[in-house]
């Protein structure tokens, strides 16, 4: 009897062993889930589109070649299946050096899934540092319609990235403003932030120029004054004017006047 008791161990040891086995199986399930999604992405990839995407995203080597509409459809299916389980796994299963499409998919699911703001903050905090190119940044950020439902909350949230040293964290903030906050309540603060954003990253400068150009289309008077007396670097200032002048919603007369403001 003593030998049998020793072999069985104490009740606490038995419980601990059961818990370990449970954790092991959970981890295995998660590994199987992300492996399955990666296999699905590989099946959906197109070699020609992979080459096309690499031309659009210089320096990005981890590309499968899956079209964005296909990724959106896959994201919707994941949300129907179990978005939270997927996002929990993606916390560690999708890294900054994972496939471009895997990171994009994480952002798309995050935008579609239903959850409260505080939980979404956690998942955004895990996702944003993984952004490594403009396509993931812009496509995902544009889809974050939840920001318009509680704008005060999300405005405060995106401002945490204002002074980030990371190029795509700052661009995430700028594109969030462009997509979800260009209104009377935020226009003055947006222009102020554009004026005070001094980051050497090319995609920050281009994001700021794009934002200023859309500000002009929606709020021409305020933005015209801003263009006459801003402290943006010359590249961003001139690129802003270029983008405004490319818009079909700006008159020829305005375009000629704006051209005189170039540095």
Per residue in 141-182, pLDDT (tens digit) is: 999 999 999 999 999 999 999 999 999 999 999 999 999 999
Cβ atoms of 87 and 102 closer than 8 Å: no
Question: Which of 110, 143, 176 is at the close of a domain?
Answer: 143
Give yes or no: residues 90 and 104 share one domain.
yes
Give yes or no: residues 171 and 237 share one domain.
yes
Residue 140: which of 151, 124, 152, 156 has the closest Cα? Answer: 124
Question: Which of 93, 126, 143 is at the close of a domain?
Answer: 143
Question: Which of 122, 143, 164 is at the close of a domain?
Answer: 143
Residue with tokens 């496939």: 99
Give yes or no: residues 90 and 216 share one domain.
no
Give yes or no: residues 148 and 88 share one domain.
no
Looking at residue 49, what is its pLDDT?
A: 95
Residue 113: strand, helix, or coil? coil
Give yes or no: residues 71 and 178 share one domain.
no
Name the more confident of 254 and 10: 254
Burial class for 175, CB neighbours closer than 10 Å (0-12, 13-18, 19+)? buried
Give yes or no: residues 9 and 125 share one domain.
yes
| Model pTM score | 0.86
Give yes or no: residues 154 and 98 share one domain.
no
Which residues lie closer than 8 Å to 94 by C-beta, 6 or more apart? Answer: 34, 102, 103, 105, 106, 130
Domain that holds residue 75: 1-143
CA pair distance 43, 40, nearest whole angstrom: 5
Which residues lie closer than 8 Å to 171 by C-beta, 6 or more apart? Answer: 131, 134, 137, 201, 203, 204, 207
Residue with tokens 């818990």: 19
Burial 160-174 (b: 16+ CB within 10 A, else e): ebeebeebbbbbbbb
Cβ atoms of 95 and 130 closer than 8 Å: yes
Give yes or no: residues 193 and 210 share one domain.
yes
CA pair distance 59, 25, nearest whole angstrom: 38
**Number of folded domains in the chain?**
2
Give yes or no: residues 91 and 148 share one domain.
no
Give yes or no: residues 62 and 74 share one domain.
yes
Per-residue confidence at 33, pLDDT binned at 50, 70, 90? confident
pLDDT digits (tens, 9 = 90+) for 184-197: 999 999 999 999 99
């Amino acid at each position: 009897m003593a030998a049998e008791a020793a072999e069985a161990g104490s009740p606490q040891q038995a419980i601990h062993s059961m818990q370990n086995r449970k954790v092991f199986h959970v981890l295995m399930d998660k590994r199987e889930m992300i492996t399955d999604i990666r296999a699905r992405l590989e099946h959906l990839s197109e070699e020609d589109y992979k080459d096309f995407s690499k031309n659009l995203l210089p320096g990005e080597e981890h590309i499968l070649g899956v079209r964005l509409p296909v990724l959106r459809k896959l994201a919707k299916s994941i949300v129907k299946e179990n978005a939270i389980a997927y996002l929990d796994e993606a916390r560690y299963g999708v890294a900054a050096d994972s496939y471009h499409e895997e990171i994009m998919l994480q952002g798309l699911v995050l935008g579609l899934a239903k959850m409260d703001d505080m939980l979404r903050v956690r998942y955004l905090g895990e996702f944003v540092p993984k952004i490594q190119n403009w396509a993931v940044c812009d496509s995902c950020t544009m889809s974050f319609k939840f920001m318009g439902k509680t704008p005060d909350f999300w405005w405060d949230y995106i401002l945490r990235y204002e002074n980030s040293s990371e190029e795509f964290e700052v661009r995430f903030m700028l594109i969030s403003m462009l997509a979800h906050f260009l209104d009377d309540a935020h226009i003055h603060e947006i222009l102020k932030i554009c004026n005070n954003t001094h980051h050497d990253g090319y995609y920050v400068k281009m994001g700021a120029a794009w934002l200023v150009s859309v500000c002009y289309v929606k709020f021409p008077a305020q933005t015209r004054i801003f263009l006459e007396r801003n402290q943006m670097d010359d590249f961003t200032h001139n690129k802003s004017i270029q983008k405004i002048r490319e818009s079909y919603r700006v008159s020829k007369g305005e375009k000629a006047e704006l051209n005189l403001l170039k540095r």
